[in-house]
Amino acid sequence: MTVICGHHDKKQAWIGGDSGAFDEDSVMLTETKVWKADDYLLGACGGFRLAEIAYESAIGDPYKLRDHLEVWWKDLGTGENDTTILCVSVSGIWIIGADFSIIRCRETYAAVGGGGLSAMSALCALQGVAMTGKDRITTALKTSAYHTNKVRGPFKVISV
């Protein structure tokens, strides 16, 4: 489980993620859940292998990234994908689903992962509140960690 959340306005975009990597018995910390590629910010939750392929591709555009990942996954030929990727730019937010579908979000914010619902709720409640984008994302991440037992700091927030 994890949480990745993003927000944008007409001038800047932000994404943030937690650092927990969980299995049935333990927790480890990771640093590769959120990154920049081109003019996009990306974050992944779920399986780490497809997240690694996305990171190494240096592709930001959600449609090009989806096509790249889908080809890679089909060539692998085994199992089901369980990775979801959030793509954020100043012009919008997209979610690449585990079935390689793309959703363009209507709102100026989105969150994915096991802690996504609490982060989305926090981002919704913070609309209209005067605060920086970084503070907005940090608050949503902290809210998710407080209400979800498998979200772990430290949190990483980046912007374009």
Average pLDDT across the chain, whole number: 89
Question: Strand, helix or coil at 140?
Answer: helix
Which domains does the chain carry? 4-150 (3.60.20.10)
* pTM above threshold 0.85: yes
Element (H, E) at 6: strand 4-8
Q: What is the pLDDT of residue 20?
A: 76
CA distance 112 to 86: 7
Q: What is the pLDDT of residue 134?
A: 95
Q: What is the pLDDT of residue 31?
A: 66
What DSSP string runs through 49-78?
Answer: HHHHHHHHHT--SHHHHHHHHHHHHHHH--
Predicted confidence (pLDDT) per residue in 1-21, tens digit: 689 999 999 899 999 999 877
Contact present, 29 and 21 (Cβ < 8 Å): yes
CA distance 149 to 112: 15
Predicted confidence (pLDDT) per residue in 55-98, tens digit: 999 999 999 999 999 888 877 766 667 889 999 999 999 999 98
Q: What is the pLDDT of residue 49?
A: 82
Predicted confidence (pLDDT) per residue in 122-153, tens digit: 999 999 899 999 999 999 999 999 988 778 88
Question: Strand, helix or coil at 138?
Answer: helix
Q: What is the pLDDT of residue 1?
A: 67
